Chain A
Amino acid sequence: MSTTISISPMTRVEGHLDIEVTVDTDGAVQQVIDAKAAGQMFRGFERILVGRDPRDAVQLTQRICGVCPVSHGMASSLALDAAYAVTPAENGRIVRNLTLGANFIQSHILHFYHLAAPDYINTDGILDMSPWRPHLSSPDMVTGSAAAALVGNYVAALSMRRKAHQMGSIFAGHMPIAMNFVPGGATKPVTAADITAFRALLAELRSFISNVMLADGEALLSLFNDYTQIGTGCGNLLAYGVFDLTSAGTSKLLARGRYTNGALGTVDTTQIREYVSHAWYTANSGNRTPAAGVTEPAADKDGAYSWIKAPRYAGAVHEVGPLARMWVNGDYRYGISAMDRIVARALEAEKVANAMDGWLSQLVPGGPVYTHKATPSSGTGVGLTEAPRGALGHWAQIGSSRLTQYQIVSPTGWNASPMDDSGQHGAIEQALIGTPVRDLKNPIELLRVVHSFDPCLSCSVHLVRPGKKAEICRVDVAAGV
């Protein structure tokens, strides 16, 4: 008999996420045979933005997500650079990259140690208090001195991610929200003292990433090598690319591209469409490109179970994130799995941090950071960048010097999307299907697969709670002590 496992709330993600899977025995292995991922919160950002001064989007969209706000600031600024027809000053381009890089490092450390690692460490006898207790248990979890060492690094990582924000704040004014992004560049004059202070913190972070975080990543890879075969998912990868190395954006630290059905390819944004057959929107909202996006709620729609639209590239499901970026860029081609996502994320942190040191040397103290251009009466722009957790796009239209249309396609939209019009499951759903579940009361395998994507539900903009689903034989996660 099949069994339904419902996990609500899923913790150690950003935002409100529900996971529901059906487990059955197939080929003598108890495993997930069906999966649904759905979020539970809706704010309506795209509607809030319409009618406002375009420049306000840079600040307002950062409040979509407090874990990756700088990526929204970057996407919004790039979209408005295009709509304003302005080329950012070189210092401005570099300062934007350094600010975004600081948050990439912060987010990757936070995810690795504080959101994902607890799925692999048994903290009993080490951290015997909330919020670490109670926790799910599994015999394969790291114990003893190895667990204590990881907990020690968990603690060290708390101060490291704080320092990453401190570093970003030198240019940004404050973090997590960055104040220094504007169309045309950045806001703070560059000084030699700021470069020196930034570089000192960066050196400390580079040392931690290379010597501690990568070592812990390798240890997890070795101890949990079975997770290179678990959570493999759709196998298609998409990256918009990030960290423009020229103001035209033609060269990036992490390139734009995709990997579809085993072949590398280029990205043409007109091939992106959002589908809504299983999302609570009218048929009129579906099968549209983001530039022509429409968001009309239909809360009672039959067959829908999520308020995330389902973005697809040329009709195909793609996953996004550090693994997609590193794969497309040729930096990581070992495999696509739960563990590969974790390892690729750690390696990407090192790559970005090392590059940032070079960018600091390119800054010109006292040089312009901003190119002025008045708000145009009309214009359109697309801002394609990456959040730490994957490809992020903003599509803006200006009329009468106000925003007339604003659409956001977020990374967790790609990863946590529901089924599309062709009945294809979203990326996280596909990664869950086939995942073995040893103990129905302690389904730690599900947590490891879901957390490997670093979901960020607030970014998924359209989300609202799913409808009540049919119960087969529902079991809840062990009720704990």
Chain B
Amino acid sequence: MSNTEVMTKMGLTRRDFMRATSAIGAAFGLEATGVMSLVGDAQAKETAAGGVPVLWLQGQACSGCSVSLLNTIFYTTIDDLAVNTLDINFHPNLTAAVGTMAVAQVERTYRQGGYVLVLEGAIPTGSGGKFCNLWPGMTFDKAVERYAARAAFIMGVGTCACYGGIAAAAPNPTGARGLADSYGGKRVVKIPGCPIHPDWVVGTVAYILANGTAPALDAYGRPTTFFGRRLHGDHCPLKDRGEAHRPGQGGCTKEMGCRGPKTFCDCNVRLWNGGASGAKGVSWCSGAGAVCVGCTEPTFPDGMSPFYTKIE
């Protein structure tokens, strides 16, 4: 089977991906700034010789954000991204090469510059950074500094990378922290979530490819398209569904501890784990009778726990 045949089997071309991304926003009544208008520009940026180079590095991560990214379908699928749109020159869970062969590929991308650097997981600063070592002589904190220098765009994926997240929870045994707000004057685009919703990452990448610039960000570096509105509000599908006081009752879980009033994300309109392009997902945390744990906020988890306790 030729390369073209494989792509055909995958059923999508790069052009399809860019068209799919145009579905963002309007359907869910989200802020649609910019991303709506990416189609024309993005197609102009298609190049014959492969896609946009990406280096994806993991620090104190659980790979949950990478696994969640594999679930992408609203804008496009992961095979389309990998084959047609991006050159994923390193990803710890996907890269075929190992050892020095893999590191050489990272360094080649670094020398060429102009890549999208994606960082997943927190940065441990204790013990000289040695709580997380990527390969010989390369701790994660060193890697962040090195590979940020020649990146065109820097993205933090997941609350650990953005703000420290779980790894930085008290007593923060390893001195973990999230990414800085910027490196060398380049502002970091932060996509928090524990894990991230794949649409947040793919939609943001699409915007960057289309516009050559980062989307509008809030004070915490988050794209306002996805994180511009509080979860709790009149738009919540559980608003008039009665109050649940215990698991298994269904309805609004505010009395049980839902962190919606303190959390900015679009989970309750976008929903998770959808099954088709452009379609809403299947469910979300409070929709499953559980509580939103506030995982997209810089204060997660300590500022949000105990989770099953009503917000005062």
Contacts and interface: CB of A to CB of B under 8 A. Distances in A.
Interface string B65-77: 1111011010001
Interface stretch (B14-22, B24-32, B90-98, B228-236): B90-98
Interface string B90-113: 111111111111111100000000
B105 A480 contact: yes
Contacts of A158: 70, 77-79
B50 A159 contact: no
A465 interface: yes
A347 interface: no
A372 interface: yes
Given A173-B287, A180-B290, A480-B104, A155 B10 contact: yes
B63 interface: yes
Nearest to B287: A173
B162 to A, nearest CB: 14
B194 A136 contact: no
B225 interface: no
A370 B247 contact: yes
A10 B100 CA distance: 10
B287 A66 contact: no
A91 to B, nearest CB: 8
A173 B133 contact: no
A172 interface: yes
A44 interface: yes
Interface range on chain B: under 10, 10 to 19, 20 to 34, or 35 or more?
35 or more
A432 interface: no
Contacts of A169: 272-273, 281-283
Contacts of B289: 173, 180, 186-189, 369
B81 to A, nearest CB: 11
Contacts of B98: 7, 9-12, 136, 447, 477
Contacts of A185: 247-248
Majority SS at the chain B contact face: loop
A166 B275 contact: yes
A136 B96 CA distance: 8
A448 to B, nearest CB: 12
A173 B130 CA distance: 36
A123 B78 CA distance: 18
A171 B288 contact: yes
A182 B103 CA distance: 42
A179 B62 CA distance: 17
B33 interface: no
Interface in A170-197: 170-177, 179-180, 182, 184-189, 197
Contact of B71 (A60, A115, A175): A175
Given A55-B307, A134-B96, A63 B282 contact: no
A126 interface: yes
Given A48-B169, A165-B71, A173-B287, A9 B96 contact: no
Contacts of A52: 305-306
Interface in B258-312: 267, 272-275, 281-291, 293, 301, 305-309
A136 B97 contact: yes
B134 interface: yes
Contacts of B78: 158
B96 A131 contact: yes
Nearest to B305: A56
Contact of B68 (A44, A176, A186): A176
Contacts of A13: 93
A9 B102 contact: yes
A184 B63 CA distance: 29
Interface in B1-46: 1-3, 5-6, 9-10
A67 interface: yes
Contacts of A159: 77
Interface of A: 6-16, 40-44, 47-48, 52-53, 55-56, 59-60, 63-67, 69, 89, 92, 110, 114-115, 118, 123, 125-136, 145, 148-149, 151-152, 155, 158-159, 161-163, 165-166, 168-177, 179-180, 182, 184-189, 197, 201, 299, 368-370, 372, 447, 458, 464-465, 476-480
Given A7-B98, A174-B281, A180-B289, 14 more contacts: A9-B102, A10-B98, A53-B306, A59-B301, A118-B96, A131-B94, A148-B5, A170-B282, A172-B283, A175-B272, A176-B68, A370-B246, A370-B248, A480-B97
11 contacts: A11-B95, A16-B134, A48-B166, A53-B307, A63-B194, A131-B95, A151-B1, A166-B275, A179-B293, A372-B246, A458-B63
Chain A to chain B: the 9 pairs with minimum beta-carbon distance, closest first:
A66-B64, A173-B288, A44-B173, A148-B1, A53-B306, A169-B273, A370-B248, A187-B289, A174-B272
